[in-house]
Amino acid sequence: MALATGRMFRSSLGVCESVHARLPLICHEGALIRQPQTELVHRHWSLEPRLRSAVLDETEQLSRSGQLSVHFYVQDDL
């Protein structure tokens, strides 16, 4: 069992603490599974640098025109 959210890890800790959860936390839209109490990372799926560049290249024009919003997370920063 685990708690799941699309939010960033640190912004989800308050909810875990408020319900006294001892379960792993699935966050970043499923890209990170981490234990809140110990910060042990069970799984972390990140994009390869080449794929990150390709996504940015493909979405740059749409982002500039306001038609698309792309968010990248580096560690726990947006």
CA–centroid distance for 17 within its chain: 19
pLDDT digits (tens, 9 = 90+) for 43-68: 999 888 899 888 888 888 788 888 88
Q: Residue 16: which H helix or E strand, with range?
A: helix 9-18
**Confidence label for 71 from pLDDT (cuts 50, 70 and 90):** confident
Q: Which residues are within 8 A (CB) of 6 and not within 5 positions of it... i.e. 6 or more apart?
A: 27, 28, 29, 30
Q: Once rounded to an integer, what is the mean pLDDT over residues 26-36?
A: 92
Hey, how many other C-beta atoms are within 10 angstroms of the C-beta on 36? 20
Q: Give the span between the Cα atoms of 25 and 62, in whole angstroms.
A: 32
